[in-house]
Amino acid sequence: MSDTGNRAAIPAVVLAGAPAEPEMKAKYSVEYRAEVPIAGKAMAQYVIDALRDSPHVGNICVIGDIRCDGADRIVPSAGSLIENLVAGVKSVETEGRVLVVTSDIPMLTSEAIEDFIARCADTDADFCYSIISKETNETRFPGMKRTYARLAEGTFTGGNVMFVSRKLIIENADLIRELMAARKSVIRLARIIGMRFLARAVIAQTLCAKALTLRFAEQTVGRILKAKLKAVETPYAEIGADVDKPEHIEFAEAALSRM
């Protein structure tokens, strides 16, 4: 990785507009998942604190109707994840790339953020998406259940941090909405992404992992978005350790006590 010493501060967007699950809402009397207390502190606050402690993060914009410290701006939730993402990147003052982080990764550290920024800055990609290997995740957080995808390069889970061009999100907002709406329909996805990619993905998960490579996935989605995409592997499993179910809270509290 190259030195980040002379890089300009990067604006960050924290997505905190997801409503709390009914069990969380009833138990903790919160409206949003970001407000759920983890070891006495709101989950989103851990994320904001990590960003604030990162030397190369500039202004922090929180998308969600929550109370928090350390944010430079708070924008009301726009509804869905995609709407909040669009609202977030529109709210920052930059024509370049933006760091986008979900509010449900309380184990996130400034070191993990700095490392990811450095890895992304070494590329000219319009969209850098974090991935964590199964080995890295299980070594760092034994017992944590994650959804994995088999690829030629290895078995990975997706992270909750992105480094993305503001322009890319704004110009492709309708297409991203369409992709999200079609995610549960093979036919609709095939029309957008292509049957060749879907077939390879199915074969990779069921028969032969070598059927799908990261490069092919990057090129396929990049062609649709008319942009350069890059999957960035991070050695920090904290980036993907999201707390989105009640049973994850106890796990997170135990992990934080050891950090």
Is the predicted pLDDT of residue 139 greater than 50, yes or no? Answer: yes
More confident residue, 23 or 7: 23
CATH number at residue 74: 3.90.550.10
In a domain, 163, yes or no: yes
In a domain, 4, yes or no: no
Is the predicted pLDDT of residue 4 greater than 80, yes or no? Answer: no
79-100 mean pLDDT:
91
In a domain, 64, yes or no: yes
55-63 mean pLDDT:
96
Is the predicted pLDDT of residue 206 greater than 80, yes or no? Answer: yes
Looking at residue 44, its pLDDT comes to 97
Six token digits for residue 49: 């604190």
Looking at residue 5, its pLDDT comes to 43
118-126 mean pLDDT:
92
In a domain, 205, yes or no: yes
In a domain, 63, yes or no: yes
Is the predicted pLDDT of residue 254 greater than 80, yes or no? Answer: yes
Distance separating alpha carbons of residues 133 and 149, to the nearest angstrom: 10
Is the predicted pLDDT of residue 166 greater than 50, yes or no? Answer: yes
204-208 mean pLDDT:
93
Largest CA distance in the chain: 49
Q: Based on the structure, what is the number of domains in the chain? A: 1
Q: Please give the share of the chain, as a percent, with pLDDT higher than 90.
A: 69
Residue range 168-203, pLDDT digits in tens: 999 999 998 888 787 767 678 778 889 899 899 999
DSSP track, the chain? ----TTPPPEEEEEE--PBPPHHHHHHH--SBGGG-EETTEEHHHHHHHHHHT-TTEEEEEEESS---SS-SEEE---SSHHHHHHHHHHHS--SSEEEEEES--TT--HHHHHHHHHHHHTS--SEEEEEEEHHHHHHHSTT-----EEETTEEEEEEEEEEEEHHHHHHTHHHHHHHHHHTT-HHHHHHHH-HHHHHHHHHHHHT-GGG--HHHHHHHHHHHHTS-EEEEE-S-GGGG----SHHHHHHHHHHHHH-
Distance separating alpha carbons of residues 24 and 215, to the nearest angstrom: 39
Q: Please give the share of the chain, as a percent, with pLDDT higher than 70.
A: 96
In a domain, 2, yes or no: no
Range of the domain at 19: 10-258
Q: What is the pTM of this model?
A: 0.91
In a domain, 1, yes or no: no
CA dihedral 26, 27, 32, 37 (to 10 degrees): 170
Band of pLDDT at residue 95, cut at 50, 70 and 90: confident
Band of pLDDT at residue 212, cut at 50, 70 and 90: very high
Band of pLDDT at residue 1, cut at 50, 70 and 90: very low
Looking at residue 3, its pLDDT comes to 37
In a domain, 147, yes or no: yes
Is the predicted pLDDT of residue 124 greater than 80, yes or no? Answer: yes
Q: How many C-beta neighbours within 10 Å does residue 25 have?
A: 16
Looking at residue 258, its pLDDT comes to 80
Looking at residue 170, its pLDDT comes to 93
Looking at residue 8, its pLDDT comes to 64
Q: How far is CA 97 from CA 20, 162, 179, 197, in A?
A: 29, 10, 22, 28
